[in-house]
């Protein structure tokens, strides 16, 4: 009897549930997220989804953290190329590598995918995965964003961190599905987002397993095994997760097929696009941006029922730390 | 006070823990498994590993279920090819396809990897993943093993089912890392082993994402994107899991590098090889078997500290159901 009273007291004394998304201003975006989560998690709901099938996928660049003026991974690659060239200038074997080492971003951009691949091969390949990830972590400790002066891994979006945590608290598994490099992503995803290595999906370079002087190692090799962008995203979701997500968040047309695949399944589904409308606190860009171009998604979001998050309007706060 | 007494009573009344591996006979194999699990799970132990890093990887064919006289997936492919040829004989466009449709396993074996790939392409590619997996499930419902008369998915190893459950109960994440096809494996892994789709790693065919008549679908395509065998296994573990396992189980030289990679890490590690020594209850084979060949592993297991499970001696029972 006393035990029952004790339990009853505990239950009655429980405070009202705190707002899980305090950095989201009240409005349609926030209320649709909360409604969706309730729909799929309340037992007895027509759209109830068992915990093992509550898969939520997130793009990274421009969705979970900033991507302007260039992807953080490209900034890392350029910094690393400069350091390599300082030690041995003969690594700069082509015009695009010389341009990158001089910080000529226009020339890098003009070199297209082929040029980018050359920069990535030169700066990423040829060493063990573990050593590569240590280098990336060391870079995050010192590199500063050229415009904000912040550390790159401090430029996370606080509202999206809250969304990740909220979904996990409600039994979702959260995954990154990014066009960025798999090993680059893993070097910070666990610390930044509480997303462990096995839940990171990204563009994957070739790799080898070899025993060198009796020590087995997995080494990054030149060349790309899989590009996790556009139609590659649903394919990678199938290969890596094997379940169709019920929630997807992105910010560019590179995420279009991932949102399309996610939201065309049966039952309750939710797609969300972060629209960069906030030139004051972050950047404002969409159709004309070479980085994170959002064109088709902007045209079709409403008809497809995807939430178009207006960063300036919907987010009370952008960064985790006050600037 | 009464609450404390109640809790104390509950704790004292707890029964002695049941044997987690009842189908394993007492002996070195069983005791080394239990010792290892205690080492890595007891807080304060020098070899304690946090739950998120307790990664256990299992080969499938010959490790979790039977693989003689031919892999179940090949039996499926041949049955499917026969059904396709019954409907339209013109699908048999080559000698190896005609041999397979006639059940000439010697000719299929003689055709090598190229022949197998042709059979797989013909029987697996060109349709949506979901439809393919439905077909595999329907096949399991009717197909019988040619020698035992059992359903293929009843020929699981009871001791390994107990090991999977034991490890999961102790906070391990259990993965399949198999040379078998990813989608084939996923069609039964959850039901057979409680291993969900996202924890299945296998050989991966090409796939496409397309919107057909307004319906997005992921379709299997001809050609192999990744062979998950030998040195491919540690590479796939890196790509898919991103953490070095602390436990690995296999049965053939195709698992050698996976065990090598797993057990050469720091701290407590365990490698286990199922040695097929039981001609009476299962099959006896190793160095000379075309399927599940175990040669180097047999030579090096002892020096590397890997458990060599003697199926006839170490397993009190082989199959889940009495035969």
**In whole angstroms, what separates CA A217 from the centre of its chain?**
27
Which residues of chain A have a CB within 8 Å of the CB of B133?
A: none
**Looking at chain A from residue 49 to 108, which residues have their Cβ under 8 Å from any Cβ of chain B?**
52
What's the confidence (pLDDT) of residue B3?
52
pLDDT given at position B11? 47
The burial of B16, by beta-carbon neighbours within 10 Å (0-12 exposed, 13-18 middle, 19 or more buried), is given as exposed
What is the reported pLDDT for A16? 57
Q: Work out whether strand A284-285 and strand B284-285 pair parallel, antiparallel, or are unpaired.
A: unpaired
Per-residue pLDDT at B4: 53
User: A238, B231: Cβ pair inside 8 Å?
Assistant: no
What global pTM score does this model have? 0.94
pLDDT at residue A4 in the model: 53
Question: CA B185 to CA B76: how far, in whole Å?
Answer: 12
* pLDDT average per 10 residues of sequence, chain B (323 residues): 50 66 98 98 96 98 97 96 96 96 92 90 95 98 97 98 98 98 98 98 97 96 96 98 98 98 96 98 97 97 98 98 75
Instruction: Find out whether the peptide bond into A321 is cis, omega within 30 degrees of 0.
Output: no
Using a CB-CB cut-off of 8 Å, the residues of chain A touching B9 are none
B8 touches chain A (CB under 8 A): no
**Residues A306/A257, Cβ–Cβ less than 8 Å:** no
pLDDT of residue A42: 97
- What tokens appear for A35 in the block? 């409604």
Q: Which residues of A touch B200 (CB under 8 A)?
A: 242
- pLDDT value at residue A112: 86
Facing B241 at nearest CB: one of A197, A215, A235: A197
pLDDT given for residue B8 in this prediction: 47
Distance from CA of A110 to the nearest CA of B (A): 29
What residue of A is the nearest CA neighbor of B185? Answer: A242
Number of cross-chain residue pairs from A and B with Cβ atoms under 8 Å apart: 90
> In this structure, what are the phi and psi dihedrals at residue B315, rounded to the nearest 5 degrees?
-105, 120
Alpha carbons A262 and A234: distance in angstroms, whole number = 8
CA atoms within a 13 Å half-sphere pointing along the CA-CB vector of A51: 4
Residues of chain A with pLDDT under 70: 1-16, 323
The C-alpha atoms of residue A137 and residue A188 are separated, in whole angstroms, by 7
Chain A within 8 Å of B187 (Cβ-Cβ)? no
Mutate to test the interface with B, among A133, A171, A202, A209 (most CBs of B within 10 A): A209
Query: How many Å apart are CA A293 and CA A285, to the nearest integer?
Result: 8
Q: B260 to chain A: which residues are within 8 Å by CB?
A: 211, 216
Distance separating alpha carbons of residues A262 and B80, to the nearest angstrom: 31
Q: Which residue of B has its CA nearest to A241?
A: B198
Which residues are within 8 A (CB) of A19 and not within 5 positions of it... i.e. 6 or more apart? none
Q: What pLDDT is recorded for position B112?
A: 86
Residue B44: cis peptide before it, omega within 30 degrees of 0: no
- Rounded to whole angstroms, the Cα distance separating B134 from B125 reads 14
* Nearest beta carbon to residue B6 from set A3, A225, A238: A3
Q: Provide the sign of the torsion angle of the four alpha carbons A193, A197, A203, A207, taken in this order.
A: positive
* pLDDT tens sequence across A157-176: 999 999 999 999 999 999 99
Cβ atoms of A302 and A266 closer than 8 Å: no
Angle at which helices B72-87 and B112-124 cross, to 10° = 60
């Amino acid at each position: 009897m006393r035990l029952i009273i004790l339990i009853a007291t505990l239950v009655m004394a429980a405070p009202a549930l705190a707002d899980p998304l305090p950095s989201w201003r009240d409005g349609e975006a926030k209320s649709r997220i909360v409604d969706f989560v309730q729909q799929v998690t309340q037992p007895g709901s027509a759209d109830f989804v068992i915990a093992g099938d509550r898969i939520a996928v997130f793009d990274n660049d421009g969705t979970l953290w900033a991507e302007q003026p260039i992807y953080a991974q490209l900034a890392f690659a350029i910094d690393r190329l400069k350091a390599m060239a300082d030690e041995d200038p003969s690594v700069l074997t082509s015009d695009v590598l010389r341009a990158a080492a001089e910080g000529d971003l226009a020339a890098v951009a003009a070199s297209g995918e082929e040029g980018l691949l050359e920069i990535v091969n030169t700066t990423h390949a040829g060493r063990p995965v573990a050593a590569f990830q240590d280098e990336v972590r060391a870079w995050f400790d010192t590199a500063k964003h050229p415009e904000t002066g912040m550390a790159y891994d401090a430029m996370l979006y606080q509202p999206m961190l809250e969304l990740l945590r909220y979904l996990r608290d409600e039994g979702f598994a959260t995954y990154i599905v990014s066009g960025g490099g798999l090993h680059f992503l893993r070097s910070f995803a666990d610390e930044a987002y509480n997303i462990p290595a096995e839940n990171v999906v990204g563009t994957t370079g070739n790799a080898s397993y070899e025993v060198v002087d009796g020590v087995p190692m997995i080494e990054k090799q030149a060349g790309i095994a899989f590009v996790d962008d556009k139609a590659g995203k649903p394919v990678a979701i199938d290969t890596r997760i094997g379940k169709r997500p019920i929630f997807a968040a992105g910010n560019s047309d590179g995420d279009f097929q991932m949102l399309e695949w996610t939201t065309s399944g049966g039952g309750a589904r939710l797609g969300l696009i972060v629209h960069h409308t906030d030139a004051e606190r972050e950047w404002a860009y969409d159709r004309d941006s070479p980085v994170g171009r959002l064109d088709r998604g902007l045209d079709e979001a409403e008809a497809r029922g995807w939430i178009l998050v207006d960063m300036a309007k919907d987010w009370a706060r952008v960064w985790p730390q006050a600037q």
